[in-house]
Structure 1
Amino acid sequence: MGRRKLSFGDRSEIATGTKAGWSVRRIARHLGRCPSVISREIRRNSTKTRGYQAVGADVAAQRRRARPQRRKVAADPVLKARVDADLAASWTPNQISGRLRLEAADPTVERMANSPDAKGRTISGEAIYQYIYALPRGELARRGIMLPSKRTRRRPRSIGRSRGGPIVAMVPLPARPGR
């Protein structure tokens, strides 16, 4: 089954199936989709009082898909100031994330010099990387920020390549002598 978005027709079939009392697997089989897709859709878009409504689910899905999405760092001025200051001090995103977690968990820990107060907010290293890589090209250099990897763009995943060469003179497990 390929990855394709649920259409409004799919959502109306899901609504009809849930009202008829069908199981998630039966709805998935009827639509030719994976049960986890149907389960996730129902869980995301159901309300306690009205259940699953196709129109509301479709509107919510369009809103979630809207681009550009606001990143957590860019949306919060306190976090943005802290992350920018720590990046300028040559901290890695994972170090910044760990330090914020430590400061939030233990109030006796003082913040680092030249770092604005994060007011107990935390963020993951991955969210900081997303913020960094969403910046316009050349912005890191203009700010004087240099990541340890010296990479200004994300590296694409390598698909289909093996990590090393073949094992020379490999002996299969059944052919090896016992202990």
Structure 2
Amino acid sequence: MRRWLVQVGGIRPRRPAPASGRYLSLSEREQIDEYRREGWTIRAIALELGRSPSTISRELRRALSYRGQYLASRAQRDAEARARRPKTAKLAVHAELREQVQVWLRDDLSPQQISHKLRREYPSRPEMWVSHETIYQSLFVQSRGALARELTAHLRTGRYLRKPRSAVGERRGKFPDMVMISERPAEVEDRAVPGHWEGDLIIGANNKSAIGTLVERSTRFVMLLHLPDGHSAEQVRAAMTRKITALPAHLARSITWDQGAEMSQHARFTVETGVPVYFCDPRSPWQRGTNENTNGLLRQYFPKGIALDGFDEVYLDVVADKLNRRPRMTLDWDSPAERLGKLVVATAA
């Protein structure tokens, strides 16, 4: 009746609530009302509306009166009331789930990583699953009352942008005997063979301090170079040599770096370690994409504009370990440490 009155102009149309696609709209409820009066089956109504039969069945169970009547206007009013009703956050109700999420947040895992890790750790316990959006909501919408706002300090605040290499000035400079990336073996490109690394420096305030980064291409495993006395070519070579020579031979096949002056002793490094160094083209950071991405993650721990020589080697190892234990989407939610461990075990066997 209401729909007929609206159509003939006898009553001002109700302003429809915006449809999300997920929930039934007033128009759909009016169609359900009409089709039900005409004796349509639930399956036929669902097919006509493009909804699942379970959606129509659930709607009727909720909205039927004690007399078995379905009124679209009342069903819409009840649905809007349910939508306005505050809902208890899942993390506020389930203490075990909340505690596990908080532990992993303090360990600097992202909400997305936590969501996937929960499903892997608790495959048969859906009550221990939660979406990354729910975690974000619990952190930033404090009325939900589940997670302490202080835990937001453990989130990455966003992607940082590197300066073009040309802006760094003194690091740029070509030197003899460079082997360019175009001459790098094809096996490096597809990441099928482990042991190929990408390297770079994270530069501190006023270009006076640095931390070296090495990332293995196939596993994303990261090692950090402690450079307390500066980042000259000699200091970088010595730190790299210590890290690389500690690896099994099959995990130390090559290094790719940009053309920074800190690599001017690359030939000596290769003689000492047997590991060749390949150089990127100028101003081409995407040729070390794995390393660039990792450096972005590291800025959570080493913000731009601070001195980096105050961090000792123990702290660098702790940070590297945190990154290596984070599950990664690109590794099908394995962590770099897990992937590297599998390689070591497979080789030993």
Q: TM-score, normalised by structure 1?
A: 0.49
Bigger CA radius of gyration? 2
Structure with bigger strand share is 2
Structure with bigger RCO (C-alpha 8 Å, 6+ apart): 1
